Each structure stands twice: as structure tokens, then as C-alpha cells.
Amino acid sequence: MSKQITSSVKVRKKITNVIVHVCLAVLAVIWLFPIFWVILTSFRAEKGSYVSTFFPKSYTLKNYVKLFTDTQVLNFPKMFMNTLIIAIFVCIISTFFVLSVSYCMSRLRFKMRKPFMNVAMILGLFPGFMSMVAVYYILKAIGLSEGSMIRVALILVYSAGSGLGFYVAKGFFDTIPKSLDEAAILDGCTKFQVFTKVTMPLSKPIIVYTVLISFIGPWIDFIFAKVICRANADYYTVSIGLWRMLEKEYIDNWYTCFAAGAVCISIPIAALFIYMQRYYVDGMTGAVKG
Amino acid sequence: MKKQSVEKKKKAGKDFQTPYTLTNAVVKGNVITKLSLLIMGLGNICHKQIVKGLMFLAIEVGYIFFMIKSGIYNLSMLPSLGTQEQVEVWNEKKGIYEYTAGDNSLLILLYGVATIFLTIAFIIAWKESVKSSYKAEVLAKEGKHLNTFNEDIKSLFDQNLHKLLLSLPLTGVLAFTVLPLVFMITMAFTNYSKQDDHLVLFDWVGLTNFKKVLNMQDAIGQTFWSVLGWTIIWAIFATFLNYIFGMILAIVINRKETHAKGFWRFCFILSIAVPQFVSLLIMRTMLNESGAVNVLLKNAGIINKSLPFWTDATWARVTVIVINLWVGIPYTMMQVTGILKNIPAELYEAAKIDGATPVQTFFKITLPYMLFVTTPYLITTFTGNINNFNVIFLLSGGNPTPVGKTAGKTDLLVTWLYKLTVDKQFYNLGAVIGIMTFIVLAIVALVTYRNSGSYKDEEGFQ
């Protein structure tokens, strides 16, 4: 009798297990379908956005070749370099900003701390680009809206306000025991030395996370770049370039190249992101495991 | 004497209070301190803190120079925002028409606001200098040690580390977030708009724009209320569906019996690792009238007319919510996974012994625990969704748009704001809508955030 019950429980468990795995598989297919499709499209030989079959009729590498060699209309290699340069500078500046602000908010106690945190919270509630038009005029007023200064302008726009995004890193610093700081101060460290020699070495996950997040920012932003670059095609970043490939006048010739470009951009970003999310989970759970 | 020192300690013990305040300096300070109300840094120079004093003095000289050169003019133009129109003048000598430079209200407003910012910064510096003079005076009187310039620099790496670390990030935030925001907010009270041709010269109009936007009878007002309604529906659906489904997905993957956990997680994370604008643009083209989905369904004989993903209001609304699930569920899953592991296992064991079903354990244990831990995260996603520009702009572009309307059926307040400012150049109305969005968010967020456990219990871990 009891054996029968346990075996029926086992069977039921097996059935739910199979159902769960099938569901997961179906979901995974749904989630990966667009990615799979864009990879297929990037190798498709037929031009244009209209398709009649799921799998391409013939395959080619020409889309990739065109993307990197046909620089007459849409100069993809240049856009790529623009974005890379901007991303490197943004990455350096914002990492410094974010880490110093979050260290101050987490570890130092001063009069303006709570007010600053509340203000940062309030500022975060305004629609991000509500001030975009205003930023454009400010940049124009200080002469950063024309020519090669556009790159400087974009770097400033992406990194200047980054100090407000201190929450994740602050949460991480909060989990480092204060006794470590106190011990270091007893040993004669200044607070700056505590920051560089105690906190930083313990914070590898959150440093990697901050570096990658700020590096990825310029690659995936679309709207800020569009407002600031306007018609200066020389300084476009990749996201505007890809967007333009889908505009009516280009879509017939460039649709498959768009797919190729999307693949080219997505592979490094996706690799960085997957590498980073491990650190993100670590960052969420804290520095010193109990 | 003793009583006094006890009182002093009490005062110092109270958060960050010092006896070196502006009022004390004015009431109790000597002549030199009082003179440094006028000449910044004088007190410091007299007490041998020469470099510090000279720096204060330089700030004052610089500010006065700036004010005389342009600051006063900037401020004086603020009330009128300029009246001079650009005019054509016939130049007889050269035989051509010349343009005399007219006023540009936008620049006047921008410079005016910037000047006010500089003035506030100057007042703060001035207060600091007076306090510092008074402190030097008191310390010198008591025969205590006065910091030399080198020691001041050193203290920046120790007691005053926050000043060193915060100065640059704060400047960035002030110049590129706060200043533009204030500038934009002031625009809401002007008639800076393409309507009636006020793009070069405009005036203060008070609350007219707000009245217009809130007025149900007005065309803009009607659009505002309907867009606001859809924005809130969208934010609620987008936030809570993502949250619950993401959590269920994470729980299912985390089950003991599930095999290849890493592989499943990888599949879902891969979909968000692809830059959002890429995946959204792909989705848009796939769901077009002659896009992949429609063509494939037609070829398979399931439908014979294209599905109106972007052309029918209800279809479009459901589509954006569903696609947002595609974007959002993996995010929630990623963020929730770590926290799920932290739920004490005893709770589940106890529930099992008491005979709770999986559904019961989810609603009685997992959900309350998660809600407690992730309230701040929920608020940020909610605000993020109200301000979710990317998904709407890249997917539907706000369409379908009824003829003659400024906003489409799937437009959120933010995308409408974008259309009003960038496309239509109704800058004043755009600013009003930005402010309204902020008010909606502020009410929701501040109340919940301040009541959440993680705000009150900030130092719980330390």
C-alpha cells in the first residue's frame, strides 16, 4: 500500500519534471527566436526586408563585407571607432565618479549625506531626456555642438551625471564590515588609504560591474546621441547608424547589412554582459560571505 | 566653566554641529572677521592662512568681475526675456541688407539661470569664508593650532575626504543634470513654442500652459489625460507582470529537480545581453505588415490577412506589453535569482511539514519575503517603466496616431514629450508634461521608498 503511494508520487514528480523542462524549452525557443532570426538574416543573399520563407534561399558573407567596405553612404567603420573612443573615455570617467560617490555615501558621514541621497533620488524621477534639449543648448553655448567637439559633448553627456547612479555600488560597500576600516585607521591609515587599500581590493565584483556598465552605455544609447549629433553624420555612433539603415530610403539596400551590423555589435556586448552578470549577482549578495 | 564644556560637547555630539556658524561670526566675531564679510579671506590672511585666504579672495574678485562683465546684464534681461526683434536694415554704403542682432530669449533665459546658479555657488563660498575667518579668529584666541595650507590639503585625504571625492562628480551633476532641469522647468512658464511663432522671442506667461494641459476641454488637455491613463496602465502591467513572471521563472529554474540550470539561465540572459535597440528594432520589422511573422503565418495558411500589430490601437497596446515581457522577464529573473537563494530554507521545510502546496508557499513565503527585500527595485522598475522611452519609441513609435492628434495610442508621456519638443517644437508644453510626469512619479516613489525596509535599515548589515 505505502509502496504504491510512494511510486505514484514518484511518477507524478517525474511527470511534472518533464512538463517543467518542456515549458522551459518552449520559452527558451521563444526568447532566442529573434536572435536566431537576425543571425540568419545577416547571412541572407536576397535583399530587402520582405521575406517569404523562414530560412534564406541562399547564404552569403557579402552583407558583412559591404558593411565594412561600403563607406559612401553609411560609414559603419567610422561609427564604430567613434563609439569605441567615446565608450573608453566614458568608462574611465564614470567609473571614477560612481565609485567615489558611492564610497562617500556608504562609508563617510558628513552633513550633506542624507540630503544628497534624497536629492539624487528625486532627480532620478525626472524623465531622462526631458532636459535633453536644454543640455543641447548648454553644449551649444559652450561651443561643443559642432565638429569634432561633438565627441567631447557626448562623453560629457554620458559621464557627467553618472555620479547619481551610486545605488548598486553603495549597497555593495555597505556590506563590507566597518571593523576593517576601523582596524586600518588604528594602524595609521588615512581615510583615503582606507578607500584605496582596504575597500577597493575587496570590491572587485562591483568595480568590474561599474566598468562594464559604463562601457556598454554609449553602445546601446540611441536617443542622446541622436539629439546631440543631429545631422553630423561624421560623428554618428553605431546605434544611430543602425537606426538609419531601417529608414525608408535605405531599408531596401541595407536591411541585411543592418542584421550584420546588429550581429557585430551584439556579440561583444553580449559577451561583456554575460561576463558581467556574474559580478552583478555577487555584488547584490555582498562582499564578505558569512 | 565645566557646565559650558559639557554643553559644548552636547552640541558637538549633535550631528555635525559646530560653533563656527555664520550667525556666531556676525554676532561674536571681531573687526577682522566682520570685515571679511566684505573682503573674503581677510580673516584667513591675517591669521597666516595666506594661500587659503587668497583663494577666497580670488573667488570674490572673479565673481565680481564676471558680474560686471555679463552677470548683471544677464539678470536684468531675465524679467523681460528680451524684446529686440531681429530687423533688416538697408546699408547704403555696401548696398546690401544687413541684419541687426536681435534678442534671443532662449539664450537670455539660459544665461540668466546659469548666472543664478553661479550666484548661489558664490554665496555658499562666501559663507564658508566667513565661517573659516571666524574659526581662525577663535582658534588663535584660544591659542590652539591653526591648520597650514599643507595640512588643509592633507585633511582632504582624511577627515575631509568627502569634499575631495564628491567635488568633481557633483560639478558634473550640477552642470549636466540640475542646470538643464531647472532651465527646462522655467520653460514651462513661458510661451516658447512654434505656435504663434515664439521660437526666437518669448515671454513669461505664468501658469497658462499648466491650465491648458490640465483642461479637459482643450485638445492638448484631452490628449494629456488619455496619454496619462495609458501610461499608468502600461506601467502597472509592465512592472507587475514582469515581476511575477520573472520570479516564477527564477523559481522554476532554481528548483532542485531542474537539470542544466546554467544552460536555461544562459538562454534567457542571452536575450537581454543583445543591446535593447537592436532587439527592439528587429521585433518591429518582424511584426510589420509584411514582416517575417505575418508572412510566415500567411504561408502556413493560418491567417489570410496581415495581423494589424502596429495599426490597430488595441493590438498595438497588447503587443508592446507582450514584447516588454520578452525584454523584462529575464532581467527580473537575473536580479531575483541571488535573493531567492537567501530565503532561509527552514521556512520552506516548516511549510512542507505543515502540508502547504507550492502555490501556497509562493504566496505565503516567497512573495512576502521578496516584496520586503525588493521594494526599492520595484519602485525603480515602476519609474523606469513610466519613463520607458526605448520600448515604445523603437517599437511602435507611439502609433497608431489618430489624424490631427499630437500623440498616438501607444504614446507614453515621455514619448509624447519627445514628439512635442523635437518634432513639433512646442517646448513649453513639453516642459509642462515633464513636470507632470515627475509629480506622478514623486508621489508614488517617495512615499513607498521612505517606508521601505532597506531605506530605514540602511546600516542593518554593518
Distance from A114 to chain B by nearest Cα, in Å? 11
pLDDT score at A94: 93
Domain limit, last residue, from A62, A81, A100: A62
- Find the mean pLDDT for residues B295-308: 82
In this predicted structure, what is the pLDDT of residue A86?
93
For chain B, the farthest-separated pair of C-alpha atoms sits apart, in whole angstroms, at 102
Retrieve residue B326's grid coordinates: 520578452
- Which residues of chain B make contact with A191, given a CB cutoff of 8 A? 157-159, 161
Smallest CA–CA distance, residue A75 to chain B, in Å, is 18
Res B121: pLDDT: 92
CA distance B260 to A25: 11
**C-alpha distance from residue B309 to each of A118, A176, B71, B290 (Å):** 42, 50, 55, 11
Closest-CA distance, B58 to chain A, in angstroms, reads 23
CA separation for the pair B311, B290 (Å, rounded)? 13
Residue B111 near chain A (CB below 8 Å): yes
Nearest CA in chain B to A244: B281
pLDDT of residue B6: 45
Q: How many CA atoms lie within 13 A of B413 on its CB side?
A: 33
Residues A117, A147 within the same domain: yes
- Is residue A101 domain-resident? yes
* Sign of the CA dihedral running B122, B123, B128, B129: positive
Of B184, B271, B446, the CB nearest to A31: B271
> Is A31 in the same domain as A75?
no
Q: Is residue B459's pLDDT more than 70?
A: no
| Of the partner residues B157, B162, B417, the one whose CB lies closest to the CB of residue A127 | B417
Q: How far apart are CA A216 and CA B255, in angstroms?
A: 32
Asked, for residue A132, whether it belongs to a domain, the answer is yes
Q: Report which listed range, B11-15, B322-326, B358-362, is most confident.
A: B322-326
Residue for grid cell 532627480: A123
Please tell me the distance from the alpha carbon of residue A164 to that of residue A116, in angstroms, as a whole number.
10
Flag if A123 and B299 touch (Cβ within 8 Å).
no
Q: Is residue A71 part of a domain?
A: yes
> In this complex, do A35 and B461 lie within 8 Å of one another by their Cβ atoms?
no
Has residue B180 got a pLDDT over 70? yes
Burial of B223 (0-12, 13-18, 19+ CB in 10 A): buried
* Residue % of chain B over a pLDDT of 90: 10
CB contact under 8 A, A24 and B295: no
For position A112, which CATH number holds? 1.10.3720.10
Q: What was the pLDDT predicted at B439?
A: 85
Is the backbone peptide bond immediately before B400 cis, with ω within 30 degrees of 0?
Answer: yes
Distances (CA, A) of B458 to A173, A182, A283: 12, 19, 16
Cβ of B390 within 8 Å of Cβ of A239? The answer is no
- Looking at the structure, do residues A100 and A228 belong to the same domain, yes or no? yes
Q: Is the pLDDT of residue A289 over 70?
A: no
Would you say residue A281 has pLDDT above 70?
no
* pLDDT tops 90 at residue A87: yes
pLDDT at B230: 92
> How far does Cα B101 stand from its chain's mean position?
36
Q: Which pLDDT score is estimated for B401?
A: 83
Nearest CA in chain B to A160: B172
Q: Can you give the pLDDT at residue B455?
A: 56
Task: From the options 3.30.230.10, 2.60.40.10, 3.30.70.1230, 1.10.3720.10, give the CATH code of B208-456.
Answer: 1.10.3720.10
User: For residue range A133-179, what is the model confidence (pLDDT) as tens digits?
Assistant: 788 888 888 888 888 889 999 999 899 888 888 887 887 888 788 88
Range of the domain at A205: 66-285
Q: Give per-residue pLDDT as tens, B42-77.
A: 888 888 888 888 999 999 999 999 999 988 888 888
Instruction: Let me know whether A128 and A246 are in one domain.
Output: yes
Last residue of a domain, one of A23, A44, A62: A62
Closest in B107, B166, B178 to A101, CB measured? B166
Instruction: Assign A4 a pLDDT band (cuts: 50, 70, 90).
Output: low
In a domain, A30, yes or no: yes
Contacts of B47 (CB under 8 A, 6+ apart): B136, B137, B139, B140, B146
How far is B434 from chain A, CA to nearest CA, in Å?
6
Of the residues B274, B380, B417, B456, the best mutation for testing chain A's interface (the one with the most A CB atoms within 10 Å of its CB) is B274
| Cβ–Cβ < 8 Å for A210, A98 | yes
Is A40 within the bounds of a domain?
yes
User: Cβ contact (<8 Å) for B295 and A52?
Assistant: yes
Confidence check: pLDDT of B451 > 70: no
Chain A within 8 Å of B257 (Cβ-Cβ)?
A: yes
Please report which confidence band the pLDDT of residue B1 belongs to, taking 50, 70 and 90 as the band edges: very low
Q: Across chain B, what does the average pLDDT equal?
A: 82
Confidence band of B2 (pLDDT split at 50, 70, 90): very low
Same domain membership, residue A16 and residue A96? no
Cβ–Cβ contact B72 with A under 8 A: no
Give the tens place of pLDDT for each residue, B264-283: 888 888 887 888 888 888 88
Contact A103, A195 (CB under 8 A): yes
Most confident of A71-75, A155-159, B436-440: A155-159
Q: Quick check: ipTM above 0.90?
A: no
User: Can you give B54-99 as a three-state secondary structure string?
Assistant: HHHHHHHHHHHHHHHHHHHHHHHHCCCCCCCCCEEEEECCCCEEEE
This prediction has a pTM of 0.81
Assess whether pLDDT exceeds 70 at residue B141: yes
At residue B372, the pLDDT reads 73
Whether the CB of B110 is below 8 Å from some CB of chain A: the reply is yes
Does the structure show a pLDDT above 90 at A96?
A: yes
Distance between CA B63 and CA B129 in Å, rounded?
Answer: 14
How many domains does chain A fold into?
2
Mean pLDDT (chain A, rounded): 84
Same domain, A101 and A224: yes
How many angstroms separate the CA atoms of B100 and B121, rounded? 35
| Residue in B with minimal Cα distance to A166 | B169
Is A91 part of any domain?
A: yes
Q: Where residue B3 falls among pLDDT bands split at 50, 70, 90?
A: very low
For chain B, give every domain's residue range.
Answer: 13-87+97-187, 208-456
Residue-wise pLDDT for B9-42, tens only, equals 444 445 567 778 888 888 887 888 888 888 888 8
Please check the confidence at residue A56 and state whether its pLDDT lies above 60: yes
Over residues A3-30, the mean pLDDT reads 83
Q: For residue B249, what is the nearest residue in chain A, using CA coordinates?
A: A24
Contact (CB<8Å) A110/B157: no
Q: Average pLDDT, stretch A60-72?
A: 85
A287 versus B304: the higher-pLDDT residue is B304
Instruction: Name which of A130, A172, A195, A267 to mutate to probe chain B: the one with the most chain B Cβ atoms within 10 A of its Cβ.
Output: A130
Residue B5 has pLDDT above 60, yes or no: no
Taking 80 as the threshold, does the pLDDT of residue A284 lie above it? no
The region of weakest confidence among A223-237, B89-103, B172-186, B267-281 is: B89-103
Beta bridge partners of A44: A59
A77 and A36, same structural domain? Answer: no
Q: Which segment, A11-15, A55-59, B134-138, B320-324, is predicted with the most confidence on average?
A: B320-324
Q: Fill in the DSSP letter of residue B420.
A: I
Q: Which chain A residues touch B291 with a CB distance below 8 Å?
A: 49
Q: A104: nearest CA in chain B?
A: B162
Distance to chain B for A19, nearest Cα, Å: 11
Shortest CA gap A273–chain B (Å): 6
Contact between A142 and A74 (Cβ < 8 Å): no
User: How far apart are alpha carbons A218 and A228 in whole angstroms?
Assistant: 13
Residues with Cβ within 8 Å of residue A284, at least 6 apart in sequence: A168, A171, B335, B338, B339
Whether residue A290 is contained in a domain is answered as no
Q: What is the mean pLDDT of residues B335-356?
A: 81
Give me the mean pLDDT over the B359-384 stretch. 80
Contact at CB, B162 and A126, closer than 8 angstroms:
no
3-state class (DSSP) for residue B446: helix
On whether the CB atoms of residues B309 and B315 are closer than 8 A, the answer is: yes
Q: Is A167 found in the same domain as A57?
A: no
Cα separations in angstroms, A99 against A119, A131, B336, B445 = 18, 25, 24, 25
pLDDT, one tens digit per residue, over A182-204 is 899 899 888 889 898 888 888 88
